[in-house]
Chain A
Amino acid sequence: MSQDHHHQELGFIQKYIFSVDHKVIGVQYGVTALIFLFLGFCMMMLMRWQLAYPGEEVPILGGLLGSGWLPDFMSAGDVDASTYNTLGAMHGTVMIFLGVVPLGVGAFGNYLVPLQVGAPDMAFPKLNAASYWTYFAGGVVMMLGFFMPGGAANSGWTSYPPLSIFASNGQTVWLVGMVLLITSSLLGSVNIIVTIIQLRAPGLSFFKLPFFVWAQLVTSFILLLAFPPLEAAGVLQLMDRVAGTSFFLPTGLVQSNMPLEIAGGGNSLLWQHLFWFLAHPEVYVLILPAIGIVTEIVVNNTRKPLYGYKTLVYSGIFLGFMSFLVWAHHMFMTGMGETMSDFFQVTTMIISIPSVVVLTVLIITLWGGSIRFNVPMLFAVAFLPMFAIGGLTGLPLGLTASDIYFHDTYYVIGHFHYVVAPGTLFALFAGIYYWYPKVVGRKMSSFWGKIHFWGSLISINLVFFPMLLQGISGLNRRMYDPTFYEHGASIQSLNVIISYAAWALGLVQLIFILNFFLSIKFGKKVGDNPWQATTLEWATPTPPPHGNFLSEPTVYHGPYEYSVPGRTEDYLPQHVQA
């Protein structure tokens, strides 16, 4: 560190706001993403009010939000149809593109990848900062929609045309925001890939990398190759909206009984193809970093080597590859034809194989271990059955025969939320509890952590399991009044239960927020390696200084040398010569 003293002269702004240190940028990503997750959660809670008590004024918030400073938003104090559409579209968009991905890739990837490969920083520190600020700008631009006439985007997170072309200007802002977010992701993923390929410490061959790094590598490649087609689609949709082209508008469209004055000749399904070419791989962008986090934590807390490391790596790569070949399973109901449907049914069944392999590897790893059930481990272990439920409920959606029935019902909502909420979100919580001591130097309270865990586990299942039942009863998704049809009205009590569970879930998260902030000051102080872990990030001082390692580490072992015979300690760090 001797050459590094000039860094201390940096002022607060340079050090914490416009920093180029990957750890500061990781924390910036993390905090911003958590704020957006919270916003997305609040939008959902408003929707849950409407779903439980259709048409009734929202207590307190109805007056606050509906007083007119947000144009066309809850104007009468209740969540009316157009407000519900806005909330639905923005909840989905915010959760995925502004919350979970920036947390999984931007925050965890940024903070941990250079540490775990033994590098002083990312390959391109300035590009890294640019990536964060582009993300920030994209988020802000999207949120501006709420202040525009007609409100924010309201055509679903999928933005299907023709509806989205004629939607209010919130949709234009949504598109501009998306282009910024895509740019940010591309910058970030180039950086991560170059860092992993070029900057590994001496001795750290690819098959000695922690699985988390592999997961980030595959995720970055997915982002790199899947996002640009959505950017293309976004540009085309912008042209349709702003320059009057008809790329997605077929001939003969009629609006309010008037033929539209457009050239026509476009193709609405084209958007769906381009969109899902990104958005299915996006699912793996949500889940792979989560699997990476869970793997690290499960192995660390079972205190024995990972069962089938190479199997896991090859499954991850295969998942990444296959994720590009299944997109049209979201389009079985569009009449795209039997040949297409058959092809995508087969690929969808194939992609479930590596997912099952991943789960099996992790479950066998648990087998016979002397497991430590600390807070990160609780979340990580709970991830496994939650992800399994999410995955298994997906199979009927991947087969056309059953998808005819389930398509666009709450069964779909239940299915994918099991993957992203009790699945990915739990993994992200696990990661926060696990790496917090490295970032802050103190542990988060495990008493409150356990309450947070059990409270979340119970309430989140009470939220999403009933949704599967609603879907089986045929309740349609994206309906602002679930009692409109008889088949919905007869099971309305489920909606009330779900909403109570969702608010309980919200309350429990307050515990997490308090624990998160208070532990910065009051948490238990810990040393450099509080979990007795093997990977390189624990070989740094706490918190790691600018430049990370005191001297360049050399790697001698694989990532998970736990319970090595003949040693007094039950773990052998990667950089320690045995």
Chain B
Amino acid sequence: MKKSKITGLLLAVVAGAGFFASCGSDDSSSGSGPEITKVWARTSPMETSLGAVYMSIASKDGDELTDVSVDPSIAAMAQIHEMVMATADTSMSMTSDAPSGEMVMQEVDSVVIDAGGSVDLKPGSYHIMLLELVAPLELGAKFDVTLTFSKAGKITVTAEVRDEAP
């Protein structure tokens, strides 16, 4: 009983990611460059110097996000990160009593967007990590994030600081 519920939930999460990814991919009309939407950053809790930026990237022709940056007045550094299940962990097995394995964060070189597809940078998956924030990210504030794509080159988008995803 318990196990089937856990399995169902995980399947739903995986399928949900696929579902939302397939949504916005057909209606991009302007040009062939990546279409970037839902750009937001989380309010940074007190005592932390880290931030995270999220967005959805769709591309008709396919592209690859290879670099990210923000103005030094926002944070000292920006990196592309991904949350992954810890590889050495065995507790993720469906026969285990543990409802979840350990998640770790790792830096990645790039994010590939398949032609006609889209990738969500979202909690539990990819994020743009801001290191050494100059000041806390306050609700409602806005700042620019520059994305470098292997085909489209540099694209600057504006992130809005929010408590939760739009």
Q: Do A and B come from one complex?
A: no
